[in-house]
Amino acid sequence: TPEPAPQSRTQPASILESMRLLALLAGTASALALRPQPQLHAGRSLRPGRGVAMAAANDAAGGYRVLVPIADGSEEIETSCITDTLTRAGAAVTVASVMPRAEEGDLVCTMSRNLKVVADAAIGSCAGDAWDLIALPGGMPGAKHLKESAALQALLASQRDSDRLFAAVCAAPAVALAGNGLLEGRRATCYPAPALREALPQASDDLVVKDGNVITSQGPGTSLLFALRCVEVQSQA
């Protein structure tokens, strides 16, 4: 008897649903109280978030608060997909630098392809706050910097222990989460490099994986699906 054809890792229905949700987000963006979109210029910096003050205002209005930690070497596409998609969905997104110099006021991070991004805040100023979602972009050595940030790791441990949502894509699940024991007993996925997959306690081939209150995904090519899954889960919270 012939062997059954291998199943696609991404179901067509889920792709269509993601496209429908993206169209809905884009169509309703003008109706939301969103910030003006930043302009990019050669040699200039991009400030993607809306800041801690905006996050607090949105929280008071009943919205949800998202923290996106970045560092030198974080991946641009993933950072942009996370911040833009969640902002369009009505979240107050704060982009925080974990680089030590950020505590002295230097909030510029040089991303993995040399785009310079200006964070909204230093990670130290975000400690002690309650976040509905903490979403980590990947990229190297960005994920390594995220792993080594004591302030960020304390926030992530709090998310795990309080059953609040946290998420990571690309190298970040293996390096910044599994590397600090935050994926014990969880299925997860990451960038499909053997050295990274071996770091996961329970590796999955799925493009996006949710296990309990953690969401993981594979890389730049899946970052939109990842961001939309975060929107979907947060909307059901």
Domain-embedded: residue 63: yes
CATH number of the domain within which 64 lies: 3.40.50.880
**HSE of 125, CA atoms in CB hemisphere, 13 A:** 19
Give the pairing type, strands 202-203 and 187-188. parallel
Domain-embedded: residue 81: yes
Q: Cα–Cα distance between 2 and 70 in angstroms, integer?
A: 49
Residue whose pair of structure tokens reads 């930043």 in the numeric block: 38
Q: What is the pLDDT of residue 26?
A: 46
Q: Phi/psi class of residue 144: alpha, beta or left (left: φ > 0; alpha: ψ in -120 to 50)? A: alpha
Domain-embedded: residue 91: yes
Number of domains observed in the structure of the chain: 1
Q: Cα–Cα distance between 74 and 144 in angstroms, integer?
A: 9
Domain-embedded: residue 130: yes
Confirm if 188 and 211 have CB atoms less than 8 A apart. yes
Which H or E run contains 122?
strand 121-122
CB atoms within 10 A of CB 127: 14
Per the DSSP assignment, residues forming a β-bridge with 96 are: 69, 121
Q: Which domain holds residue 84?
A: 43-235
Domain-embedded: residue 72: yes
Domain-embedded: residue 222: yes
Q: Which amino acid is at 174?
A: A
Per annotation, catalytic residue among 81, 109, 170, 190: 170
Confirm if 169 and 222 have CB atoms less than 8 A apart. yes
Domain-embedded: residue 220: yes
Residue whose pair of structure tokens reads 């993601």 in the numeric block: 18
Q: What is the pLDDT of residue 135?
A: 99
Query: CA dist 142 to 9, 63, 87, 90, Å?
Result: 27, 29, 22, 27
Q: What is the pLDDT of residue 128?
A: 84
- 170 catalytically annotated: yes
Q: What is the chain's pLDDT, residue by residue, as a tens digit (237 residues)?
A: 544 444 444 444 555 565 556 555 544 443 333 333 333 333 334 555 544 544 454 444 457 999 999 999 999 999 999 999 999 999 999 999 999 999 999 999 999 999 999 999 999 999 988 999 999 999 999 999 999 999 999 999 999 999 999 999 999 999 999 999 999 999 999 999 999 999 999 999 999 999 999 999 999 999 999 999 999 999 887
Output the CA torsion 133→56→125→147 (10° steps). Answer: 10
Determine the distance from the C-alpha atom of residue 189 to the mean position of all C-alpha atoms in its chain, rounded to a whole number: 14
Q: For residue 188, report the phi and psi dihedrals to the nearest 5 degrees.
A: -155, 165
Domain-embedded: residue 196: yes
Show the CA angle centred on residue 45, arms to residues 117 and 171, nearest 5°. Answer: 25
